[in-house]
Amino acid sequence: MEPQKTLRKEVEFRGRGLHTGSDTEVIVKPAEANRGIIFVHIDGESRTTFPATIESICLEEERQTSLGNGSVRIRTIEHLMATFHGLGIDNAVVEVKGEEIPGFDGSAKCFVEKILAAGLVSQVEPREYLYVTEPIYLDEGKQSLVVLPYREGLKLSYSLSYQHRDLHDQFFSSVVTPEVFERELAPARTFCLKEEALLLQSQGFGQGADWENTLVFENDLPIRNTLRFPDEACRHKVTDLLGDLYLTGRPLRAHLIACRSGHKQNMKLVAKLLATFNHSQQGSKVSMPKQQPNRGSRELDINEIQKIIPHRYPFLLIDRIVDLVPGVKAVGIKNVSINESYFQGHFPGHPVMPGVLILEALAQVGGVLMLSRPENRGKLAYFMTIEGVKFRQPVHPGDQLRLEAEVIKIRSKTGQCRGKAYVEDKLVCEAEVKFALVEAGS
């Protein structure tokens, strides 16, 4: 279980915005667990707060990612958001005096260096990831994004293909870790083509840009500048994408393949990811498990489950085990069907799964966890006590229960575990269960 992180102490940034050219002061402060990334615009005594989520985005902006509410906005947040995402920072408060986040040298390098110098600290609460379970597509002709399942981390692959004499095709692909982000992505600077430069400034973009903080390409080389990477333009696109993706509000676990996408397409993908996640029907394409799967874990099908616990239909209430570390934790799945016999008489006009059966399903996952240890094979796990039971949400036909059990204490004749049941990301039930472990036939 990976903990959430925040800054050890606050960090101050002062500089000029790339697009507005205005001076800005930014203070990034530590924040408590589960706070997320919060931006606060300060104008004298006035304070306007924007959570760094899709709901706060100014969708009409181009060539930058901005937060706003119609009258107040904070521009060009993508490099700072990429820093939070890339370094694994879950919680921070960003106080901004001015209209735009400073651009510095056109990259995320300054943000990374100062934040790492201040240090990061782990927090008690675990990280919650956004997992993709089926492919998700966004196709807009020359611009496209595809998101594929990839539970090992976040992998970004980007094809930059303008088919233009001033900037040849480039490709970059890597799993993004804090080390990779700091070394391979953060130093990559923003860019444009020579023929775009004057046009963009006439449209109000790049008022703070110069030859040093913006790579202006002509004949596949930057004017009055030197490349940090042969594919620096492509790497900067990956940095922007990493920052935009963090507007889902959670770190993403997937393989994302992008071609020529910019902030506009990135925002559409973020909206599509969240819309898919919020879809209430069974089989949604993204999910938020509470824990990452363990590399040393096992999966069990129904036949293997029946070799460990004695329950059979209709009282076998788990369909499979998707993550088992014997003696440590287990995660089970129960698909709740309208054909379950209890729905005929349990609130038939408004069918809900009986709470005692949710507890029983949790206990069966706990039983698999206890009895999966070699020394306990062949034993039975009987209830001794159930404590701290809380029912938080009803479970309906069509829901999929994710049942998580974690060992608190285990001995030769007793075992105790903590169980939680979820439907998608919503906690529906939790309890602590103590078992007596006895020999079969005793």
Question: What is the third-level CATH fold of 298-439?
Answer: Thiol Ester Dehydrase; Chain A (3.10.129)
As given in the structure block, the two tokens for residue 52 are 């760094």
- Candidates 271, 295, 62, 1; CA nearest to 147 is 271
Give me the catalytic one of 168, 311, 346, 396. 346
- Output the tens digit of pLDDT for each of the chain's 442 residues: 689 999 999 999 999 999 888 999 999 999 999 999 999 999 999 999 989 998 888 876 678 999 988 789 999 999 999 999 999 999 999 999 999 999 999 999 999 999 999 999 999 999 999 998 889 999 998 999 999 999 889 999 999 999 999 999 999 999 999 999 999 999 999 999 988 877 777 777 778 888 888 999 999 999 999 999 999 999 999 999 999 999 999 999 999 999 999 999 999 999 888 877 754 233 456 665 544 444 345 789 888 899 899 998 888 999 999 988 877 889 999 999 888 888 888 887 788 999 999 999 999 999 998 888 777 878 898 888 999 999 998 999 889 999 999 988 887 788 899 999 999 888 999 999 999 989 887 6
For the chain, the maximum distance between any two Cα atoms, rounded to a whole number of angstroms, is 86
Give me the catalytic one of 19, 236, 255, 263. 263
CATH number listed for the domain at residues 3-287: 3.30.1700.10
> Sign of the C-alpha dihedral, residues 159, 160, 162, 163?
negative
Distance CA 278, CA 423 (A): 12
What are φ and ψ of residue 13, in 5° steps? -130, 135
| Per-residue model confidence (pLDDT) at position 327 | 72
- The pTM for the full model equals 0.65
Domain boundaries defined on the chain: 3-287, 298-439
| Per-residue model confidence (pLDDT) at position 69 | 81
Distance CA 285, CA 263 (A): 23
| Per-residue model confidence (pLDDT) at position 425 | 81
If 0-12 CB within 10 Å is exposed, 13-18 middle and 19+ buried, where does residue 91 land? Answer: buried
| Per-residue model confidence (pLDDT) at position 60 | 64
Q: How many CB atoms neighbour CB 181 within 10 A?
A: 23
Distance CA 177, CA 253 (A): 12
| Per-residue model confidence (pLDDT) at position 285 | 65
Sequence-distant (≥ 6) Cβ neighbours of residue 334 within 8 angstroms:
317, 318, 319, 361, 400, 401, 403
Helix, strand, coil tally for the chain in percent (to 5) = 25, 40, 40
Helices (H) and strands (E) counted in the chain, each on its own, are 8, 26
Sequence-distant (≥ 6) Cβ neighbours of residue 62 within 8 angstroms:
262, 263, 264
Distance CA 106, CA 85 (A): 18
**346 is annotated as an active-site residue:** yes
What are φ and ψ of residue 356, in 5° steps? -65, -30
Q: How many CB atoms neighbour CB 73 within 10 A?
A: 17
pLDDT tens digits for range 356-377:
999 999 999 999 988 887 778 7
pLDDT tens digits for range 266-298:
999 998 888 777 542 334 566 655 444 443 457
> Sign of the C-alpha dihedral, residues 371, 372, 373, 378?
positive
35-49 residues labelled b (16+ CB within 10 A) or e (exposed): bbbbbbbeeeeeebe
Contact 29, 13 (CB under 8 A): no
Contact 418, 369 (CB under 8 A): no
Distance CA 300, CA 336 (A): 19
| Percent of the chain's residues with pLDDT above 90 | 63
